[in-house]
Amino acid sequence: MPDVLGPYEGESLVGTAMRTKSARIEFWDAGVIAVEPDQPGDKDVIFSCAVHGDETAPIEIVRDMITDILADNLAVTHRTLFLIANPAAIVNGTRFIDVNMNRLFSGAHVQGDTPEHRRAAKLEQYVSRFFKQQRRYHYDLHTAIRDSAHEKFAVYPFTHGGPYKKEQLTFLAECGVDTILLNQAPTTTFSYYSVREHNADAFTVELGKVRPFGENDMSRFTDADTMFRKLISTSELDLPKFDSNRHHVYDVSRSIDRTAEDFRLNFADNVANFTEFELGHLLAVDGENEYTVEQPGERIIFPNAKVALGQRALLTVVPMPVENLKLV
Ligand SMILES: [Zn+2]
């Protein structure tokens, strides 16, 4: 078996395939690797990483899974597609080359012609080509820019009124992802694309804070790594019974956009995601407008005062009792 993930000189694997003991490995494109087991189970599973090129830990998790598959140390029993979404940004060591790729799915890529627009269009095609069976899963793996009061959390894309799945909440909790952020509107993220276009169970999974390659403490990802491997290598996961006490659920309360040149956030740059402020606390000043905490338990997430005019500078979220969710 050649060392396909190590240094190689000039020889591209794109368009080629190779075998392990129990599967065919196809290299569809740079960073697009499909594993077709000889006797596939009934799940189709996608792991994507590097939609943001500097989010290194998920790349290392995916790299290690692929390495173990090629070395016959991980026997895959379900069809699996690995997507290393933005190789150019990884090489560049940046979040993206021209634009944030996670705003370009569900067709939004037609509105431009940057490397990210073109790649997002291709990634959609690969997802469409891959998903064949009824049971479809897509975990889009990220790390956050800042610290988080809940280190690991997942965005549950808009369900259009459909129920939330206990099995998926439990799977995520077993991965160490005990916090769920509900998205209450269509978006142009990769995970929402797979939900909407392919009826997959799909999530944007935030696994911790961004660090440079080699500086990630991989022990912090052990639970996620273990569950990802089990998902693709065992016929049926043996998950514990759903327990509502395991999950913190938040609903988006407000999206605060920057509309004025004179915009500032009234808290320190290093304040963690999911930090709670007192009722009445001034959060942001946008020109003449002041935004204060309006609801008990309201917390901030994804603050960025430097966004372009008209873009979202801050989200606030409020806790939602798990009992209030429509669950199946
Ligand atoms: Zn990200």
pLDDT tens-place string over residues 138-191:
999 999 878 999 999 999 999 999 999 999 999 999 999 999 999 989 999 999
Mean pLDDT of 308-312: 87
Does the pTM surpass 0.95? The reply is no
Whether the pLDDT of residue 10 is over 60: the answer is no
CA distance 102 to 206: 13
* R_g of the chain, CA atoms, integer Å: 20
**Distance (Å) from CA 34 to ligand 1 centroid:** 23
Structure confidence by residue, pLDDT tens digits, 284-294? 999 999 999 99
**Distance (Å) from CA 49 to ligand 1 centroid:** 9
CA distance 265 to 243: 37
Q: Which residue has the tokens 């290299």?
A: 27
Whole-number percent of the chain with pLDDT over 90: 88
Q: At 75, list the tokens.
A: 């026997």
CA distance 47 to 141: 7
**Distance (Å) from CA 204 to ligand 1 centroid:** 8
CA distance 132 to 308: 40
Structure confidence by residue, pLDDT tens digits, 13-41? 899 999 999 999 999 999 999 999 999 99
Q: Can you state the angle between helices 222-233 and 166-174, rounded to 10 degrees? A: 130
Report the catalytic residues: 206
Quote the pLDDT of residue 1.
Answer: 35
**Distance (Å) from CA 54 to ligand 1 centroid:** 8
Please, which pLDDT band fits residue 8 given cuts at 50, 70 and 90? Answer: very low
Quote the pLDDT of residue 311.
Answer: 84
Residues with CB under 5 A from ligand 1 (ion): 52, 55, 142
Q: Which has the higher per-residue pLDDT, 213 or 11?
A: 213
DSSP code at position 171: H
Q: At 304, list the tokens.
A: 């960025």
Quote the pLDDT of residue 229.
Answer: 98
Whole-number percent of the chain with pLDDT over 70: 97
Backbone angles phi, psi at 272, to 5 degrees: -75, 150
Whether the pLDDT of residue 280 is over 70: the answer is yes
Quote the pLDDT of residue 145.
Answer: 78
- Mean pLDDT across the chain: 94
Length, in residues, of the chain: 328
Quote the pLDDT of residue 12.
Answer: 83
SS3 229: helix
Whether the pLDDT of residue 2 is over 50: the answer is no
Which residues, at least 6 apart from 165, have a Cβ–Cβ distance to it below 8 Å? 201, 327, 328
Beta strand extents in 106-219 (DSSP E only): 135-144, 153-156, 179-182, 201-209
**Distance (Å) from CA 51 to ligand 1 centroid:** 6
